[in-house]
Structure 1
Amino acid sequence: MRAVRFLDGEFTVGDVPDLPETGPGQVRIAVAACGICGSDLSVSKDACRFVDVAQAGGYPLASFDAERPVVLGHEYAGVITELGTGVTDFAVGDRVAGIGLATDATTGIPTIIGYSNTYHGAFGEAIVVDAFWVRKVPDDLRLDHATLAEPLHVGEMHVQQSGLTAADSALVIGCGTIGLGAVVAAKSAGAKMVIASEPSPRRRELAARMGADIVVDPTERNPIEVWNALIADGNSVVGAAANGILIAYECSGRAGILNELTHQMPFNSRIQVLAAGFTAESITPVVPQFRRIAINFGHGSYQDAYDITLRRLAAGSIDAEAIITGRVDLDGVADAFTALRTPQEHVKIIVRPGLAAD
């Protein structure tokens, strides 16, 4: 099987050992497309740190041997080529996308494909995943567009977990794919106002296109000060939200942002963390206690976040083509990672292994 291997900071294209046999409850998929995720960028920056943090946190889904090659990529879409025993909801030839989880038949331990030395990710010609997390792609939705359901659904999931109501407003910090998903989800949940904070002009434009009421360049204006000024100016929309709260959706992963937010967010507000960094960070706990600010890293119930997002993509309510700013084949993966480390021009780059037709 041809794939892109990652080891010691280098990407190489070539043949890799085949995947494990398709086990009970699993499907094998010929990959048509796969997005490059922010966590893939974290692995490429420091794979040992990524694994150390996952293992120290007791998180088996992203634990692998960083001294052996891995094939990254979990934001996949493709065509089913083989069914494991017990799979009745799919057929060979189905166009699918989904959450990239595979359970090792020998240990019973699940893993995220790509963060495993055995279950290759989708920067290759095929993957094996648990069918429970797989969904059929609607006929009128392109497979490369369907890959966006995975990162975008994180926004929907966290907006549900944050308890946002129609009386509340949202501040989305960082407008990569996850942040754009939060903008879409907050607007769909009826937020009184959505403010998007993003230094990249291209991403600010996309945030506005996805429904943000106000977009702010944080290098020029503090978005919380913008919020406060709107209140002081008697803005009618903000005034109508006086009985609600402001919820910050932290999607940037920027070092120091949590400490800044605990000092600057309004009293009785909330911080929902969607994109977290891998380095240690300090906050002064008494500050959010004084200000009665809740911080949520992903606790709470949610329902059908992926399916809701897939339906939005199929209905065209999300401009998928605007989000996809580049496409590469396997030979272009290394350059794509380099380009995404300075994200002024790009939002989402899609890898197309070329085995399955779109």
Structure 2
Amino acid sequence: MDKPAPGDGQVLVRINACAICASDLHFLRGGEKMVELSRELGGPYASLDLEKKVVLGHEFVGEIVEYGPNSRESIKVGARVVAVPVIMNSGGQSVIGFDNNYPGGFSEYAVLDEKFILEVPEGVDDDAAALVEPLAVGIEHARSGEPSVDDVAVVVGCGAIGLGVIAGLKLTGVTAIVAVDFSESRRRLALEMGATLAIDPRERSPYEAIPELDGRRTTIVYECVGVKGLLNEIINSVGYNTKIVMGGYSMAAEEIYIFTAQNKHLKVYFASGETPDDMSLALKSIADGTTDVRPWLAPRRIGLSGLKQALESSTESSAPIRTIVDPLLP
């Protein structure tokens, strides 16, 4: 592909590192459905042409090479930056890595929207900087449920989203956090991120009174799995006045019993992508050591030749939370 050129208010960066996200695999397996639903119901992928080239990768860090016309140039050329992976244009918005015109972080270069870039401090290395974006998503999901310090939060699913939610809840002062996952290794990671308790749902229900929390029950549930039927299971299991945040990524139609949700006075929130403020908080918490994302990382980086296998195994419970790709490596 040709080297991209930055337009008005845009910046060209050379990619240093890009993390693999499970949504990259979802796109490879269900891109047609993503485009179809966006065209039918509205969404950022409506203009995507799957007959043309697409370069994935939206969790990246890169060095500024040059600015396009009419830019503020508030960060010096050569500085490292991360960004919300979105380009604002006259047609709305384009998602970097899911757009024919804006290649993602698995390429050598990417064009970013100058409004959404943040300079990476010297003390944060490239691998950690590549995790700012997924951590920011978890922070956004955490605050979407409007949690209070008195909440008992149950986080279902301890992949990157769930771990990011746990980190986000800690940042907002929530101290009673119950992590739920089938995988023992991911439950351990959840405890490292700040969960109070980690539960295997095959052994006990996280929705009953919790002895370790003085018999308190959950007041807010974060669904971070994206499996059809799980929302209805949560609705049927929780107590009165519980809040439910849907953060798991799913394109399957969901059936729920509204009768049950109404009788329990439940509230359901739908989490979305991160904002610049979420990115800023994520970067700050990594830089000052409040949030340690190093346990998310695979032991070593890979090059493009290892990308296919790493993508295919990325949703397995034994896979690392994030594998870093260096697009300059073979």
TM-score (norm 1): 0.86
Q: Deviations over 1:141-177 (max 9, x none)?
A: 0012111111111221122221111111111111111
Deviation at 1:255, TM superposition (A): 1.7
Q: Deviations over 1:262-283 (max 9, x none)?
A: 1111110000111230111211
Q: Indicate which of 256, 265, 268 corresponds to 1:283.
A: 256
Answer whether contact 2:240 2:264 (CA < 8 A) is retained.
yes
Aligned equivalent of 2:289: 316
Equivalence map 1:192-203=2 (5 Å): 192-203=175-186
Deviation at 1:298, TM superposition (A): 2.9
Answer whether contact 1:198 1:204 (CA < 8 A) is retained.
yes
Aligned equivalent of 1:344: 318
Aligned equivalent of 2:74: 89
Residue 298 of structure 2 aligns to a residue in which SS? strand
Q: Deviations over 1:103-161 (max 9, x none)?
A: 45xx4432011111111111110000101111000110001211111111122112222
> Which sits farther off after the overlay, 291-300 or 340-349?
291-300
Aligned equivalent of 1:35: 19
Task: Please list every run of 5 or more consecutive structure 2 residues that lacks an aligned counterpart in the other structure.
Answer: none
Deviation at 1:220, TM superposition (A): 2.7
1:48 aligns with 2:32: yes
Q: Which one-letter code corresponds to 2:11 in the other structure? A: V
Q: Which one-letter code corresponds to 1:142 in the other structure? A: D
> Which sits farther off after the overlay, 148-157 or 216-225?
216-225
Q: Deviations over 1:50-72 (max 9, x none)?
A: 21122223113564112323110
1:143 aligns with 2:118: no
Task: Please list every run of 5 or more consecutive structure 1 residues that lacks an aligned counterpart in the other structure.
Answer: 1-15
Residue 154 of structure 1 aligns to a residue in which SS? helix
Identity of aligned residues (%): 34
Residue 117 of structure 1 aligns to a residue in which SS? coil
Q: Which one-letter code corresponds to 1:247 in the other structure? A: I
Aligned equivalent of 1:9: none
Q: Which one-letter code corresponds to 1:309 in the other structure? A: A
Residue 223 of structure 1 aligns to a residue in which SS? coil
Residue 133 of structure 2 aligns to a residue in which SS? helix
Cα RMSD for the two superposed structures: 2.2
CA distance in 2, matches of 1:93, 1:303: 21
CA distance in 1, matches of 2:18, 2:173: 31
Aligned equivalent of 2:83: 98
TM-score (norm 2): 0.93
Residue 207 of structure 2 aligns to a residue in which SS? helix
Aligned equivalent of 1:77: 61
Residue 53 of structure 2 aligns to a residue in which SS? coil
Deviation above 4 Å: which 4+ runs of structure 1?
Answer: 299-303
> Could you say if the C-alpha distance between residues 78 and 194 of structure 1 is closer, same or farther in structure 2, counting changes exceeding 3 Å?
same
1:111 aligns with 2:99: no
CA distance in 2, matches of 1:128, 1:300: 19
Deviation at 1:309, TM superposition (A): 0.9
Q: Which one-letter code corresponds to 1:297 in the other structure? A: F
CA distance in 2, matches of 1:266, 1:350: 41
Residue 46 of structure 1 aligns to a residue in which SS? helix
Aligned equivalent of 2:227: 254
> Could you say if the C-alpha distance between residues 260 and 103 of structure 1 is closer, same or farther in structure 2, counting changes exceeding 3 Å?
same
Equivalence map 1:95-244=2 (5 Å): 95-104=80-89, 107-225=90-208, 228-230=209-211, 235-236=213-214, 239=216
CA distance in 1, matches of 2:259, 2:288: 46
CA distance in 1, matches of 2:15, 2:124: 16
Q: Which one-letter code corresponds to 2:87 in the other structure? A: A
Answer whether contact 1:166 1:190 (CA < 8 A) is retained.
yes
Answer whether contact 2:34 2:45 (CA < 8 A) is retained.
no
Deviation at 1:89, TM superposition (A): 1.0
Answer whether contact 1:313 1:319 (CA < 8 A) is retained.
yes
Residue 262 of structure 2 aligns to a residue in which SS? helix
Deviation at 1:192, TM superposition (A): 3.9
> Could you say if the C-alpha distance between residues 273 and 184 of structure 1 is closer, same or farther in structure 2, counting changes exceeding 3 Å?
same
Aligned equivalent of 1:60: 44
Q: Which one-letter code corresponds to 1:139 in the other structure? A: E
> Which sits farther off after the overlay, 107-116 or 298-307?
298-307
Answer whether contact 1:174 1:251 (CA < 8 A) is retained.
yes
Answer whether contact 1:70 1:114 (CA < 8 A) is retained.
yes
